[in-house]
Chain A
Amino acid sequence: MTSLGFAQAAGPGDFVAARSQMAFSLGWHIIIACFGVGFPALVLFAEWRGIRTGEVAYRLLARRWARAMGVLFAVGAVSGTILSFEMGILWPGLMQRYGAVYGFPFALEGFAFFIEAIFLGIYLYGWDRLPPRVHLASGLPIVVAGVASAFFVVAANAWMNTPRGFRLVGGRVVDPDPWAAMFTPATGPETTHMILAAMMVTGFAAAAVYAVAMLRGRRDRYHQLGLLLPLTVAAVITPVQIVVGDWAARLVAADQPAKLAAMEGLYRTGAGVPIAIGGYYSGNTLHGALEIPYGLSLLVHLDPHGVVQGLDVVPVTLRPPVTLVHLAFDLMVGIGFALLALGGWLAWSWWRRRKMPATVWFLRAVAIAGVAATVAMEAGWVTTEVGRQPWIVYQLMTVREAINPAPGLRYGLYAVLVVYTLLTVATIAVLRRLARHPVPVAPQESDVEEYSVI
């Protein structure tokens, strides 16, 4: 364990400000980043169907989605860059000691980001210059690099949860092993969970846009495809995501028992532990929760009498804030199952009648699912990040030790909040404008050709 050292110089206000700035800018960027991971495949699929079938609806969808993708990529590229700066501006202690160990996935992410940016430029601006098949092929690297980017960045985050690949001698890192640092126990489940989450957010959010349009009376084939294509992708991924989530939680139980205990609001270590849903935690007790007997022991150990570690074995100063982590976790899981039910509804209707449910309640549910999937993804990040507190590198370095002690850090937060408020308003306004750009009732060839993707 290391000393708190220099971090004492940073005032409590600056400490809260730095954490808020990181949480806010990361939480903002992650929404846009989801579209960088999930959207290219959807756009390419629509374009491919358009080329194969010549159908105008697919071709217009591809172009309109591509235009939105261009805006989202630009915003994602710049809102992601500030995170790189913040690694040093806010957490120089972390980078000074561990940059050589876990910087490697970031370096790889840099190359993936390059590939994305280069081929996005070619794909968008080359739409009317390249032959259709070459153009389609130029989009494939964006899909691969988008998923790879997510893998690398989340692998770096996984390292903070299960740090590996170095030895500490007198507080200094020796023998860095960048490969071991990239493939830690948390890497597999965490990266898979996030990549699938990104695809779910993209799918449900894109479908939601068309659900809203259909609720407003546009029920033509263009809008049906716009809803069904992304919704099907998201609905197929949802059950897989639940299994992956279970895998991730089991590894959290093994590697970060304090985080699991906070997720479940569990104070007393014991056997035959129930799952507690909802409630609030105070005085070492979870109040008002709904309990499923033996549930947690079963989930973690596949044994109703399995022992699950609680917060009682964690020193008071090293416990994460329980209520927030517990409720964020429950919210994520709850939304996950609700989305599973929505996908089941669609599948049942398709199986019985070869079409989507006819009721407006289905469209309303899809419209809400777009927001809900995003909320679930954010709740997941709150769970893993707040659940790791007070550590920035689990059991090796606290957040307080990593912070920049320079005076006046809080003014950075104020500046970021002002810029992001404007950025949020403008992003929503521009995306709404793109969505509202009228779609002809019966789109023609000329409508496709005249819609510019840039």
Chain B
Amino acid sequence: MSLADAVLVCLWVGLTAYALLAGADFGAGAWDLVAGGAARGARQRDLIEHSIGPVWEANHVWLVFVLVVLWTGFPPAFAAIASTLYIPLTGVALGVIARGAAFAFRKNVEDLAQRRLYGAAFASSSVLTPFFLGTVAGAIASGRVPPGIAQGDVLGSWLNPTSLLAGVLAVGICGYLAAVYLCADATRAAQHDLADAFRRRALGAGLVIGAVALAGIAVLHADAPRLFAGLTGRALPVVVLSTVAGIASLGLLLGRRYRLSRITAALAVTAVLWAWALAQFPLLLVPTLSIDDAAAGRPTLQVMIIIMVVGAVLLVPSLGWLFWLFQQHPTGKASRTGH
């Protein structure tokens, strides 16, 4: 494995963390949208707020991490992706703003009309942002981002069957992860009726993802033959792993084994991302730009590796404390006295 590959692996770890953690935060926002009227949905919204409140900002930073590693480690790839896909990426950036700001604001207003307004902004941007991110992934995976600056079609690059498939899948995956995580959170808070509600949603979302993924096979076969060949060739074992883990998490949900279901669901999503990486390795931008061609000079890559090791030493225990603290009592004293 070259130095460039190692940096890319770190980037992909960051992307995976973003999908698993921030993805679930987006999904929770999407469930907020369909939680029902102000009175009926209040408890669901409270659970969502308490689950994502302490962690969403830290989870969000993974996106910034991915961006800075991409532009420092692989500047030509970053320039090509950002310039060609500037429309969906602007959508992502604005969606991130609307989601985060509205979530923070909603906690600080009492008036019902304002809470509804911020809630609507929070929830709708929680759907749009992963959709745009999915279209970006689809554009890159289907080889629609040529190297160079703004060399791709600014519309067709992300408005195409593969991008739309990836966008819909991204929204579905976020929703599924969130519902599964929330089942466990609700059970720990002894809110079993809420756990049942999110279990139903998780099962529904899981079935929808399964159906979309099945249809996706035909879409990729027709629209992105290279990606299809990679996924059914070298990456096939990982694709199979993802499928098995996904089905297992559905089975565990049926049996109300929420903690195990959470792990298998995360494994399924992780496997999707790594299957994609494996399918197009060693290309960064299909079909021409390789990882090594896109990589920054050796001194830069070395420094990147060093700071990622040092950074991990600082981050892992810090993140561990954060998640441990708020997994202990998802609705602790702060929530009872909150107003």
The 6 closest A-B pairs by CB, nearest first: A88-B82, A103-B72, A99-B75, A100-B296, A74-B104, A96-B79
- A100 close to B90 (CB less than 8 A): no
Q: In the assembled complex, which residues on chain A have CB atoms less than 8 Å from the CB atom of B105?
A: 71, 426-427, 430
- A423 close to B101 (CB less than 8 A): yes
Which of the candidate stretches B59-67, B163-171, B215-223, B275-283 sits at the interface with the other chain? B59-67
Q: In the assembled complex, which residues on chain A have CB atoms less than 8 Å from the CB atom of B186?
A: none
Q: CB within 8 Å of A: which residues of B? A: 53-55, 57-58, 60-61, 63-65, 67-69, 71-73, 75-76, 78-84, 86-87, 89-90, 92-94, 96-105, 107-109, 118, 149-150, 154, 296-297, 299-300, 303-304, 307, 311, 314-315, 318-319, 321-322, 325-326, 329, 332-334, 337-339
- B149 close to A449 (CB less than 8 A): no
- A404 close to B150 (CB less than 8 A): yes
Task: Give A270-299 as 1s and 0s: 1 = Cβ < 8 Å from B's Cβ atoms.
Answer: 000000000000000000000000000000
- B58 close to A412 (CB less than 8 A): no
Q: In the assembled complex, which residues on chain B have CB atoms less than 8 Å from the CB atom of A74?
A: 57, 100-101, 103-104
CB nearest neighbor in B for A75: B101
Interface of A is mostly: helix
- B75 close to A103 (CB less than 8 A): yes
Q: How far is the CB of B287 from chain A (nearest CB, A)?
A: 20
Q: Could you tell me the distance between the alpha carbons of A85 and B311 in the complex, rounded to whole angstroms?
A: 22
Is A242's beta carbon under 8 Å from chain B? no
- A100 close to B67 (CB less than 8 A): no
Task: Give A67-80 as 1s and 0s: 1 = Cβ < 8 Å from B's Cβ atoms.
Answer: 10011011101111
Q: Could you tell me the distance between the alpha carbons of A409 and B73 in the complex, rounded to whole angstroms?
A: 26
Contact of A78 among B100, B150, B322, B332 (CB under 8 A): B100
Q: How far is the CB of B335 from chain A (nearest CB, A)?
A: 9
Q: Could you tell me the distance between the alpha carbons of A111 and B311 in the complex, rounded to whole angstroms?
A: 6
Given A6-B149, A99-B71, A452-B339: A419 and B315 within 8 A (CB)?
Answer: no
- A103 close to B79 (CB less than 8 A): no
Q: Could you tell me the distance between the alpha carbons of A358 and B307 in the complex, rounded to whole angstroms?
A: 53
Given A118-B318, A452-B337: A106 and B79 within 8 A (CB)?
Answer: no
- A67 close to B108 (CB less than 8 A): yes
Task: Give A90-128 as 1s and 0s: 1 = Cβ < 8 Å from B's Cβ atoms.
Answer: 101101111111011011111101110111111011111
Q: In the assembled complex, which residues on chain A have CB atoms less than 8 Å from the CB atom of B319?
A: 118
- A121 close to B149 (CB less than 8 A): no
Q: How far is the CB of B195 from chain A (nearest CB, A)?
A: 22
Q: How far is the CB of A60 from chain B (nearest CB, A)?
A: 14
Q: 8 pairs across A/B with beta carbons < 8 Å?
A: A85-B92, A88-B79, A88-B81, A89-B86, A103-B72, A104-B303, A122-B321, A406-B84
Q: Which of A142-159 contact B (CB under 8 A)?
A: none
- B75 close to A129 (CB less than 8 A): no
Q: Could you tell me the distance between the alpha carbons of A453 and B335 in the complex, rounded to whole angstroms?
A: 10
Q: Among the interface residues B94, B307, B339, which one has the most CB atoms of the partner chain A within 10 A?
A: B94
- B303 close to A128 (CB less than 8 A): no
Q: Could you tell me the distance between the alpha carbons of A171 and B300 in the complex, rounded to whole angstroms?
A: 18
Is A334's beta carbon under 8 Å from chain B? no
**Given A109-B68, A121-B322; 16 other pairs, CB 8 A cutoff:** A78-B60, A78-B100, A103-B71, A104-B72, A104-B300, A104-B303, A107-B69, A114-B58, A114-B65, A115-B318, A117-B61, A118-B319, A173-B297, A406-B84, A406-B150, A426-B118
Which of the candidate stretches A176-184, A305-313, A316-324, A347-355 sits at the interface with the other chain? A176-184
- A81 close to B64 (CB less than 8 A): yes
Q: Could you tell me the distance between the alpha carbons of A120 and B322 in the complex, rounded to whole angstroms?
A: 10
- B149 close to A92 (CB less than 8 A): yes
- A87 close to B334 (CB less than 8 A): no
Contact of B149 among A96, A118, A124, A177 (CB under 8 A): A96
CB nearest neighbor in A for B329: A129
Q: Among the interface residues A108, A416, A430, A450, which one has the most CB atoms of the partner chain B within 10 A?
A: A430
Q: Which of A57-73 contact B (CB under 8 A)?
A: 67, 70-71, 73
Contact of B54 among A88, A93, A106, A125 (CB under 8 A): A125
Q: How far is the CB of B114 from chain A (nearest CB, A)?
A: 8
- A110 close to B68 (CB less than 8 A): yes
Q: How far is the CB of B46 from chain A (nearest CB, A)?
A: 13
Is A341's beta carbon under 8 Å from chain B? no
Is A254's beta carbon under 8 Å from chain B? no
- A426 close to B101 (CB less than 8 A): yes
- B61 close to A113 (CB less than 8 A): yes
Is A380's beta carbon under 8 Å from chain B? no
- B63 close to A81 (CB less than 8 A): yes
Contact of A93 among B79, B304, B325 (CB under 8 A): B79
- A92 close to B53 (CB less than 8 A): no
Is A174's beta carbon under 8 Å from chain B? yes
- A128 close to B332 (CB less than 8 A): yes
Q: Could you tell me the distance between the alpha carbons of A48 and B80 in the complex, rounded to whole angstroms?
A: 50
Is A433's beta carbon under 8 Å from chain B? yes
Contact of A419 among B80, B83, B97, B314 (CB under 8 A): B97
Q: Among the interface residues A92, A108, A179, A415, which one has the most CB atoms of the partner chain B within 10 A?
A: A92
Q: Could you tell me the distance between the alpha carbons of A412 and B104 in the complex, rounded to whole angstroms?
A: 25
Q: Could you tell me the distance between the alpha carbons of A419 and B329 in the complex, rounded to whole angstroms?
A: 36
Q: In the assembled complex, which residues on chain B have CB atoms less than 8 Å from the CB atom of A408?
A: 87, 154
- B79 close to A176 (CB less than 8 A): no
Q: In the assembled complex, which residues on chain A have CB atoms less than 8 Å from the CB atom of B103?
A: 74
Contact of B71 among A88, A122, A177 (CB under 8 A): A88
Is A26's beta carbon under 8 Å from chain B? no
Q: In the assembled complex, which residues on chain B have CB atoms less than 8 Å from the CB atom of A80?
A: 64
Contact of B86 among A75, A125, A406, A450 (CB under 8 A): A406
